Structure 1
Amino acid sequence: MHPSLRLPLGVTATLLACTTLPAAAQSDVTVSGYLDAGMYRDYDKTNRLGTIQRSNLAFSGVEDLGHGLKATFRLSTRFEMGTGAMEGQGSKPFWHDESTVGLQGAWGHVRLGRALSAMWSQEWKYDAFSNVNRIASTAWHLAHTFTPTDRASNNGDPEYGRMANGIFYDSPNWGGVTVHLSASPERTTAPGRDGRAVSAAVNYDQGAVGTMLGYERNGSGDKDWFAGGTYRFGAAAVLLSYNHSQAGDSADRSRMVSVGGTYAIDATTLRASYGQQRVRLDGVAGDATNKMVSVGAEHHLSKRTMLYTSLGYQRFDQQPSRTAWGVGMAHAF
């Protein structure tokens, strides 16, 4: 062997070890994502081009360790299709969507890292627009008003949904019942408030019926209760949800109720939703009432590609009514 081609002893040993590993130790790695872009007129009367729902790129993997045990990982980032910039204009971490490593077995799945909290990983199922459509989702605009999952994890900005430095557990399916838990052993910090975050959700999904009860307390003492239900019959489904959001350092609170529906006609799915929110602010007499109604349609060109349109109308107390609409395309891979 030519001297320039010789490898250090440590590198040679590592390569030899890799060639002798059993086949079961190899990982299955998947690259996946969701690309969404459209043209829309936002509620602030601004014309925009970009992501209406969520765009993400993910790397995930599973390694079979034998004896029913698997190692898992997932790295996922979100970005704006219109500009290519990371979602949140740099305030959010690069792996904003998820960065976890875990173990999975017959007893369930445990992950460590950053991911959707237990409650947030399930509550989107009870919104007609899956809490991702910035035009039409009533959950996006009316739910969880005073309870970010972490008030400071996005480089000092609030994060609605994801728990950093967390431990996550998802149970097996026990006759339609699943349990989801998450918590952080670290104290999160916000101005004047700090503590440890916990979140839990219990789901039942069997046949035509789906239900959920969820609770979350972030590290700042804000508390969030969520209940959801769905009933499916033929090509249609009805969705209900209730959310109570309570600030930890004041009497500020919000109660939101929404009802939605979906109906599939061949390759087209129709969606509609109505939500009403009552907001009480500390030191302010009376409640403010906010209402929102939305409709939309999706047409699937294939299992992975669809065209869609969305329309939303909002009427909030002490504000003029406003409307947003848009058309877009989404592709999953």
Structure 2
Amino acid sequence: MRSIQPLLLACAAAAPLSAWAQSAVSVNGRLDLGVFRGFDGVAQVGTVQRSNIAISGFEDLGGGVKAVFRLSTRFEMDTGQSEGAGRKPFWHDESTVGLQGSWGTVRVGRAMTAMWAQDWKFDPWCNFNRIASPAWYLWHPLTPSDPYGNNGTAEYGRVNNGVFYDSPTVKGFTLRLSGSFEREHEPGASGLPYSTVLEYAHGPVATMAAFERNSVGDKDTFVAGKYTIGAVAVMAAYDYSRQFDAVSQSRATTLDATYEVGRMTLKVGYGRQRLNADVNHFASIGADYALSRRTTLYASLGNKRDATTDARTSFGVGLAYAF
């Protein structure tokens, strides 16, 4: 045995070099922290636009096929704790593995549904600014993607035990599907959850149509469009969210715009929601200033006018670093 050990060691040393040439692992994410006064009137330091760290990678399997994976967790910059510590899973954001080829990408695990993973493209604040994003407050309010996804509490956006498919783009069209084959054994669960999206993007035009149903039968219909001309982008969206028994329904319309001038991006948004018999309004403005390719200084201001409460205003400034 001793005589072949050098050969075995040489083979073991050479094998990883071949694998490394065809695979890659990367670490990326976003760090965000701001000083703001919330809609509750309380001044605080905290995450305004979410912070996350992700590990992702691929391995080339040959024949145009790759194995892919992604692990991503979200956390609060002001305390260092995981977002929803003790309630949400550690890999709250995503934990998937899959295959990618000329036929598209298939992943399995926990991730955003097809609708939630793409709607951010039609909101100036990417549906994750707790001060200024109309989408954050008005879209999909009655349709949690998984009513039991976080230790028995609702998850708005992700499903566990999911299957996710993104098609290749053909003449500007992309089909995205997600769902789960595992039936939930919870009170009220009546079927399998699914989400479907058809996107079109060509030149200055981008559109999206989506439909989602969760495991208890709540449904959401979402359509949106965006038009970009030079430094100006205008976007609009309509969201119809309703509970399975149709007792509660929400119809929301948002209209937003961005304008880029030098390193600064100016943002404005407005949304109107009819929630059952109540009419709610949300208006906001903001500005992002790119200190560098990765670092952005921003200011946000939002105003909520709900049918049942007095008008409330939130404002703040923050710093975001993407890596």
Whether these two folds match at TM > 0.5 is: yes
Q: 1:318 to 1:78 in 2, by over 3 A?
A: same
Q: 1:189 to 1:231 in 2, by over 3 A?
A: farther
Aligned with residue 234 of structure 2, among 234, 238, 241: 238
Which residue of structure 1 lines up, in the alignment, with residue 166 of structure 2?
Answer: 170
Paired residue for 2:121, among 122, 125, 128?
125
Alignment partner of 1:323 is 2:310: no
Alpha-carbon offset, residue 111 of structure 1: 0.3
Quote the residue 1:294 is aligned against: 284
C-alpha deviation, 1:189, in angstroms = 4.5
Unaligned regions of 5+ residues in structure 1, if any? Answer: 1-5, 281-286
Q: Secondary structure at the match of 1:145?
A: coil
Q: Contact 1:188 / 1:220 at 8 angstroms: preserved in 2?
A: no
2:44 paired residue number: 48
Q: What's the CA shift string for 1:200-224, capped at 9, x where partnerless?
A: 1000011010000000001111000
Give, in whole Å, the separation in 1 of the partners of 2:245 and 2:79. 38
Secondary structure of the residue aligned to 1:308 is: strand
Paired AA for residue 122 in structure 2: Y
TM-score by length of 2: 0.95
Partner residue, 1:142: 138
Q: What is the DSSP-based 3-state SS (H/G/I as helix, E as strand, rest coil) of the residue aligned with 1:182?
A: strand
How high is the sequence identity, in percent, across the aligned residues?
A: 51
User: In the alignment, what sits opposite 1:283?
Assistant: none
Q: Which runs of 4+ in 1 moved over 4 A?
A: 12-18
Distance of 1:153 and 1:276 partners within structure 2? 29
By how many angstroms is 1:23 displaced? 1.6
Letter in 2 for 1:60: S
Secondary structure of the equivalent of 2:118? Answer: helix
Q: Residue 22 of structure 1: CA displacement?
A: 7.0
- Figure out how many residues of one structure are paired with residues of the other and give that number: 319
SS in 1 for 2:135: helix
Show structure 2 runs of 5+ residues with no match.
none
Pairing of 1:1-333 with structure 2 (within 5 A): 19-20=14-15, 23-24=18-19, 26-280=22-276, 287-333=277-323
Opposite residue 196 of structure 1, the aligned amino acid is L
Deviates more, 1:245-254 or 1:14-23: 14-23
Partner amino acid for 1:209?
A: V
Q: CA RMSD in A?
A: 2.0
Q: 1:232 aligns to what SS in structure 2?
A: strand
* Cα separation, 1, equivalents of 2:187 and 2:303: 35
CA distance in 2, matches of 1:242, 1:144: 10
The amino acid of 1:289's aligned partner reads V
> How far apart are 1:142 and its partner, in Å?
1.0
Separation (CA, whole Å) in 1 of partners of 2:94 and 2:10: 31
Equivalents in 2 of 1:320, 1:54: separation in Å? 27
Question: Structure 1: which amino acid aligns with 2:142?
Answer: F
TM score, norm. by length of structure 1: 0.92
Q: CA distance change for structure 1 residues 71 and 312 in 2, over 3 Å: closer, same or farther?
A: same
Q: Contact 1:35 / 1:330 at 8 angstroms: preserved in 2?
A: yes
Secondary structure at the aligned position of 1:57 is classed as strand
Which residue type is aligned with residue 20 of structure 1?
A: A
1:191 Cα shift?
3.3
Distance in 1 (CA, whole Å) between partners of 2:186 and 2:258 is 40
Q: Secondary structure at the match of 1:317?
A: coil
Deviations, residues 112-145 of structure 1 (Å, cap 9, x unaligned) = 1011100111111111211000011111111111
Separation in 1 of the partners of 2:46 and 2:10? Answer: 45
Report how far residue 193 of structure 1 moved.
2.8
Specify whether residues 260 and 189 from structure 1 end up closer, same or farther in structure 2 by C-alpha distance, changes over 3 A only: farther
| Aligned residue identity for 2:215 | G
Deviation string 1:30-54 (CA, Å, 9 cap, x unpaired) is: 0001000000100011111010001
Q: Does the CA contact (< 8 Å) of 1:190 and 1:220 recur in 2? A: no
1:103–1:109 Cα contact (<8 Å) kept: yes
Aligned mates of 2:230, 2:185 — CA distance in 1: 48
Letter aligned with residue 206 of structure 2: G
AA aligned to 1:314 is: K
CA contact (8 A) 1:255 1:278 kept: yes
Whether the 8 Å CA contact 1:38–1:52 is kept in 2: the answer is: yes
Q: Which moved more, 1:222-231 or 1:190-199?
A: 190-199
CA distance in 1, matches of 2:269, 2:9: 57
Instruction: Measure the CA separation in 2 of the matches of 1:128 and 1:15.
Output: 55
